[in-house]
Amino acid sequence: MSPQATPAPSRRPGRIQRRGLMLVLSSPSGAGKTTIARALLDGDRNLVMSVSATTRPPRPGEVPGRDYHFLGHAEFEAMIRDGQLLEHARVFDNMYGTPRQPVEEALVGGWDVLFDIDWQGTQQLRQNARADLVSIFILPPSVAELEQRLRSRAQDSDEVVRKRMAKAGDEMSHWPEYDYIVVNSDIGASVEAVQSILAAERLKRERQIGLADFVNDLRG
Ligand SMILES: Nc1nc2c(ncn2[C@@H]2O[C@H](COP(=O)(O)OP(=O)(O)O)[C@@H](O)[C@H]2O)c(=O)[nH]1
Ligand SMILES: [Mg+2]
């Protein structure tokens, strides 16, 4: 697999700079997280997606390297062994993990990185990179809505839908571990909510490097 190319950072001395942040979106399957993530990426040129590695087979329409890096079990194990994953977890019957290098390069370059990962991965990121992490949990507005969204994905069998519904309860029990909670009743409103969170987090004092020099200049 090849890490996603990150544009070269443009940094000028004497300017306020900012280290990138890690924006995590988690939710049970079918709460609308993927739709929200796509809309965020479309509307924000400073945000890049972390493309996960997984042992799950591609679904129809999924593009290797864009949606996931689809790996065999041996390849995945090798990435773990070589320390190439920032976090990894078993979800349902498959392994998922975040390649380390593209994320580290993006953050240093001042890019914000968006993650679509589960609570297990979020716990690991919180342990290893608390200062960079902003985590959002997306909840469905109702059980009926969640089931309807899962069923409307023709590619998943009844069996898979049943399993995911059963798992959704477990997933949702992790909401207290997140910084922000968004109930996704309306996709447009949810996207705006996440954009507002991102805008505020970018302005956090600790994330802005070079403020002291900037203010000294202002004071003459
Ligand atoms: N820990 C972890 N979880 C991931 C990663 N990539 C995806 N996931 C999670 O794995 C779960 C299943 O993802 P996917 O197979 O795309 O099915 P989905 O539930 O329909 O989105 C979702 O909760 C994802 O957030 C990863 O790199 N690490
Ligand atoms: Mg997904």
Instruction: Kindly state the tokens that stand for 77.
Output: 């194990």
Residue 59 lies in a domain: yes
Sole residue written with tokens 């890096």: 69
118, 88 contact by CB (below 8 A): no
User: How many domains does the chain fold into?
Assistant: 1
Task: Return the residue whose CA atom lies nearest to atom 2 of ligand 1.
Answer: 117
Task: Return the residue whose CA atom lies nearest to atom 27 of ligand 1.
Answer: 97
pLDDT mean by block of 10 residues, the chain; 220 residues: 44 67 94 93 96 96 96 98 98 94 94 97 95 96 89 76 86 96 97 98 92 93
Residue 116 lies in a domain: yes
Q: Residue 159 and residue 115: Cα distance in Å, rounded?
A: 27
- Which residues have any ligand 1 atom within 6 Å of their CB? 29, 34, 52, 56, 87, 89, 91, 96-98, 116-118, 120-121
Identify the helix (H) or strand (E) that includes residue 47.
strand 47-49
pLDDT at 166: 87
Cα separations (Å) of 104 from 60, 98, 117, 173? 30, 11, 17, 30
Residue 161 lies in a domain: yes
Task: Return the residue whose CA atom lies nearest to atom 14 of ligand 1.
Answer: 29
Residue 11 lies in a domain: no
Among all bound ligands, the one having the nearest atom to the CA of 92 is: 1
The CATH code of the domain that includes 71 is: 3.40.50.300
pLDDT at 10: 46
**Mutation to probe ligand 1, out of 91, 98, 114 (largest number of atoms < 8 A from CB):** 91
Range of the domain at 82: 18-208
Identify the helix (H) or strand (E) that includes residue 180.
strand 180-183
Residue 12 lies in a domain: no
Prediction pTM value: 0.90
Tell me the CA–centroid distance for residue 34 and ligand 2, in Å: 6
pLDDT at 27: 95
pLDDT at 149: 86
Residue 3 lies in a domain: no
Residue 156 lies in a domain: yes
pLDDT at 163: 83
53, 66 contact by CB (below 8 A): no
Residue 36 lies in a domain: yes
What 3-state DSSP class applies to 75?
Answer: helix
